[in-house]
Structure 1
C-alpha cells in the first residue's frame, strides 16, 4: 500500500496535489506506526512470564511504553495515549482502523473516536458502531472538533446510552492549574474554588500584601501577586523590597516546608558583572570595495540590579510626551525607538522546570537560601552507597530531569541511581544519574535494558531490540560547566545479572487492565447530562 502512496507523492503535478498526496501518506504511515506499537504490546503479552509481570509496578504496558518512548524521544504519558489508541483500533474498531490505513482520516480524528467510544462495553453495539463510523468517515468531510465530538456522541447514544462520555461534566467542578512561561519567568494560575475559599483567599492576599513597609516599590496588585508566592512557601508575611537597612520587614521569613530548587550563576545573586560594551568594527573598507555603512554600537548591558528593580513599580511611559503631539511618521518612529536592554548574566532554571531570566532570578535570590554548587572534578569516589549531600546536589543540578530517553520528570522527584550497581560500580559523579522510580525499576528488573555513562554525564541506552538512544544532562545548554568531565573509574568485578537476590519488584494493588475496567464502570454509572431520569434532565 505504501508503494502506491509514495508513487502518488512522486508523481504530483501541482502543489495542491502534493499536499493531498502527502497528507494521505502521512495518515497511512501513522496508522502503520500504531499497528507496530500494538504488535510490540502483543509480543510482550505473549512472552514467558508476562502474566506474573502484569501486577508489577513497572508492568508489561510500562515496559513497552518505555521502549517506544526511547525510540521517539517522547514521554511515557504521550506513548501511553498512542498505545491506548493502537489497542483500541485493533481490538475494538477494526473497520475504523481500515479507513485510517487507507490514509483517508487523520490521527487527531482517530484519537477523538477512540476516546469518545471508550465506554462502550457491549460487543454487538461496538461492532455496529464501528461499522457505521467507518461508512461515515469516508464521506464525512471537514468538521470542527465540537461538531465531530457531537456527531460521535450521537452515534454512541443510539447504540449504548450509558457509554456517552461524562468526564467533561464531572471535571467542571473545582480545579487549580499552573502553567509556566519560559520567556518571562512568570507563571499563570487559573483556579475555580468554593465561594468561601475564594473569599478567604482574597482576604489573605490583602493581609499579606500589607505586611511590607510604606517604602516598598510595588503597588497593591503586585504585592497581592507576590503574596501568592508567600502563601505557597508557608510564610507569615511578605518580604519587603524597599532595600533599606532599617526595614524590619525585609528579612526572610521562617521556612514553611516548601523548597524550589533554582540553578543560577553567582552573578544572578546581585554581584557586580562586567557591563562594558561589545567590540566595534573599526576596520575600514578594503581596496575596490564601496564604503561600508557604519555599524551601530552594540547596546551596553544594563546593570543587573537596575533590571531587577525595574520588575516592580509603575510601568514607564510608552512615549516621552503625549501621543497627539507627534506626526504619524514621528509616532511610528518613537514607538519603534529603543533597542531593549541586554543582560550580562545568563538565565537561571528551575530543576526540571521553567527557564528564568536573570533579573527574575536575582529578585528571587533576595530571600532565598544560597548553596554553592561544587563540581567534583577528579575527586575520588565516596566510600558509601548513598552519595553525600554535596554530590547528590551536583548530580541533580547537572541532570535536571530523569535521564531516561524522553522522560521529563524533575530531578528533585527522582532517585539517584548507580549506572553500574553498587558495590561493583563506585559512588561518584561518573557513575550516578537521576532516574524516576518507573525507569529505575525498568533498568533494574527488565531484561534487555542496559546503559553506559560517560564522564561528562552522557548516557547511551540500549533497549531489548538492540536499538540505542543517547541522553545528555539537562544543564548542557545553560550551564555547560556542570558537564565538565568527572573522574573515571575501573570496574574490577562483573555485576550480577538482573533480578538480583533480595530485590523484589513493587506490586500494583490491581493490574492496569482491571483498573481501566473499573474506571469505565465508574464513569458509566455517572449521571448523564440531559438523560431522562437524571437530576440534570430538563
Structure 2
C-alpha cells in the first residue's frame, strides 16, 4: 500500500472557510480581526491534530515497544523495539530517527504521565509546543507519586486562568507546581544539571565555529551581562549588529585581547575597557557593575522553608540554590520591605507609591515591587526581563491634572519592554489592567482595529503570595495639584493630538470594562 497516494482533503476544508481559511478570490476583503481570529482558530486546529498524532504514536508504542522490548536477530544484532517502532514512523514521514523517537517519548509521557494536560491539547487550550514544555519540565516525575497531582493542578490552571501563556510564564508555572509537590525531584534535577556542566565546541560551515558552555544560572547571567556590557561600549557608528558585537566581545573576554570599535573614524568617542583587566575579582565601577536580581522569601533565605526563588531572565530555582547564591561573597541581600514601611494591624505593609515632589515618578519601593511582581515584560509572549524594561502607567498619566489620569499605583502601573512601551505611546494600541473578582491582576490589549486580546495568565504574585500584603499610598504631604515641572501648565489645558488620543483611550477602556462586566454577569460564577 502506498503512503498518502490519494489527494489531500485539507485544501477543500480551507476552501470551505474552516480553520480561518481566506477566500483566495477576495483576500483583500477579509477584515483584519477575522484574519487574526482565524489564525487563533488554526492554532486550535493544530493542537487537535497534534493530539491525534500523539495518540497514533502511543498506539504504535504499545504495539512495538511495550509488547516487544528486545528481539535478537539471527546475525546477533539486537533490535530494540523502541528503535524499530521509531524507524517505521521516520521512514513513513521522511523525518529523522531521532525526531521519531522524540515523538514517541512525548506521546507516551502525555498519555501516561500527564493525561489531563493531554486533554487540554485535544481541546485546543494549549499549543503543541506548550504540551512539549510540560513534558520536559515534569520528566523527573515518572516514578513519583506526585505526578497525578501535578498533572491535575497544571490542567486546572490552564483551563480556568484567563490569559495567554508565553514560554517563560508557562515554564515558571509548571516549575512552581512541581516544586510544591515534589521538591526532592527538583533538587535532584539541579544536581544532575550541574554534574553535566561543561564546554563544547562544534565546527560550522564556511570557516565558523560554535562554543557552548553550561553552568549555574547565576554564573551564566553574569557572563552574558559582561559580554553585553562590553559590546555596548562602541560608538553609535559601529557597523556591526548587536549579535556580531557580542560575539567579538565574548572572544575578546575569553582571550584577553582588545575589543575595538569598528567605526573606523578618527574622532570615535568610544571608551572601551581592556578585556584583560576585567575579571570576577575586579572592583567594578557603577557604570560597569553587573547585577543579577534574585527574589526569594525570608523564610527560604533563612533555611526555615524551602520555597522556590526567581532569577531574573532565568526563571525558578530551588531554595537550596538561592541560599548558595546568598552565600557568595559578591551577593548583596536587600529586603523588599524596608524600614520606611508602615506595619498594619492585618499584617500588611504600607509604602509610599511615588516621589513626594512628582506624582508621575514611582517611588523606589514601587519600582522594585513592579519588577518583582511582573518578572517579565507584560506584553503577551514577551520574555524581556522586567529589570530591563520601563515602568508604564497603564492609563496615561495626566501631567496637568494628575487626578484625572492614570495613577502612580501598583495596580495602575506595569513593566513593558522598550519596544512595547514605544508602540503603546506612539501607536493606537490600548491596554488595561485590573483586579478580577478573585483578586488576581489581569491585563488585556485592544488592537487598533478594536480586537480585544488577553494578557498573560501568570504573574509572580502566584510564586510570592506575600506580595499581596504590600500596599502603596501617596506620601502624607501629597503631590502638587498641577504640573510639578511647570506652573504655567496648571492653568493651560492640554490640547492637540496627544490629549485626543488619551481621551479616546479612556473611552475605549470604559467601554471594554462595561462589556467585561456584562459578560461576567451573564456567565455567572466560575465552575471551579
**Shorter-chain TM-score above 0.5:** no
TM-score band w.r.t. shorter chain: 0.3 to 0.5
TM-score by length of 1: 0.33
Does 1 or 2 have the higher relative contact order (CA < 8 Å, sep 6+)? Answer: 1
Please say which structure displays the higher CA radius of gyration: 1
Higher-strand-fraction structure: 2
